[in-house]
Structure 1
Amino acid sequence: MALIPYEKNARTHSDAQVAQIAASIREFGWTNPVLVDGANGIIAGHGRLLAARKLGLQQVPVIELLGLSEAQKRVLVIADNKLALNAGWDTELLGLELADLGELGFDLSLTGFDDLEIAA
């Protein structure tokens, strides 16, 4: 059965961001499965599904969340996206990590940071 995107998902995914997710999946594999309800409705992972399609993948790993009310599912759709945005960065440590990884020749675009952010 096909996965069903949540029609009221307020999170948007640009083509560039989907490409970033696809690059991450290609490099690291599936580190974060798609979360679905008992009817294959997507709760979290809309962008990951778009990236999988971009990569030509026919199947994706899922975790089925059972026992959630409709309201809980709707809240989780939002919370899954927003809670990570509420975190901060230790900019000094981040700068050191990015510099070290750059010296190792690692593709820093896989971090999700753009060239201007990395240079800052």
Structure 2
Amino acid sequence: MNVTTKRLGALKHPKKNVRIHSEQQIRELKRSLEKFGQTRAIVVDEDDTILIGNGLYEAMVSLGYQEATVYVKTGLSENDKKKLMIADNKTYALGIDNLETLNEFLEELQGDLDIPGYDEEILQQMVADADEVTDKLSEYGTLDESEIQKMKEANEKREQKAVSEETPDNNSENSSETPNTSDNPTAGGQSTTEAEPEITETRKFVICPNCGEKIWL
């Protein structure tokens, strides 16, 4: 594989491409080029047809680049060229972020979170609370479903913990109100029902043989 510099006008898109480049991806590639320059070479065959880097090519043309660093891969069969295009896209997509290291790096950046490929607002949330990583990160291809589920469970646990911490305060308030109710019974409530057993136990009566009514002694 030879490394060289070629004019972008000389490079050609393949007739078919296995990767669809969204507007968002091209926008983020442009951000990366503006911030860091070209960090990954475009791979072409001997006919200058792009095998790897079509999205990068589009971003560079959009920014007015005239030349690009290019790897020229020769000697590939037509089948191998197709396989290379498929393999490059798939193997790159299989990687996932190490979230622990990612969060450490974000904290070390101390608020300088203008990072191509990420929404700065989301990164701010991650730094504020490492557990609050939302599904929106999956839009950038950084997490698989298992990692997203783990973060959802972490969020649920944190919310449950917050609720449990509030519960004792509510119980203490209720307990403080309960003695007040018992100490100050209403006239038609507990005081009446408690007084009747005392009358029954301490006073005696007889039944009038004529009318059948109770006569209290």
The bucket for the TM-score relative to the shorter chain is 0.7 to 0.9
Could you tell me how far 1:4 is from its partner in structure 2? 1.0
Which residue does the alignment assign to 1:63?
71
C-alpha deviations, 1:55-97, integer Å up to 9, x for none?
A: 0112211110011111111011111111011112221111111
The letter of the residue matching 2:59 is A
RMSD value over aligned CA atoms? Answer: 1.7
Alignment of 1:95 onto 2:103: yes
Moved over 6 A (4+): none
Which residue does the alignment assign to 1:13?
21
The letter of the residue matching 1:37 is D
Which of 67, 83, 87 does residue 79 from structure 1 map onto? 87
- The structure with higher relative contact order (CA 8 Å, sep 6+) is 1
Which residue does the alignment assign to 1:2?
10
Give the % identical residues: 34
Which secondary structure state, in structure 2, belongs to the residue aligned with residue 10 of structure 1? coil
| Structure 2: 5+ residue stretches without partners | 1-8, 127-132, 134-217
Aligned length: 117
Which residue does the alignment assign to 2:118?
113
Structure whose alpha-carbon radius of gyration is higher: 2
Which residue does the alignment assign to 1:52?
60
The letter of the residue matching 1:105 is D
C-alpha deviations, 1:99-120, integer Å up to 9, x for none?
A: 222x152413x2x122465332
Which residue does the alignment assign to 2:143?
none
Using structure 1 for the length normalisation, give the TM-score: 0.87
The letter of the residue matching 2:79 is A
Could you tell me how far 1:11 is from its partner in structure 2? 0.4
C-alpha deviations, 1:31-78, integer Å up to 9, x for none?
A: 111100000010000000000011011221111001111111101111
Which residue does the alignment assign to 2:189?
none
Which secondary structure state, in structure 1, belongs to the residue aligned with residue 82 of structure 2? helix
Which residue does the alignment assign to 1:29?
37
Separation (CA, whole Å) in 2 of partners of 1:34 and 1:5: 11
The letter of the residue matching 1:113 is Y
Which secondary structure state, in structure 1, belongs to the residue aligned with residue 10 of structure 2? coil
Separation (CA, whole Å) in 1 of partners of 2:113 and 2:98: 21
Using structure 2 for the length normalisation, give the TM-score: 0.50
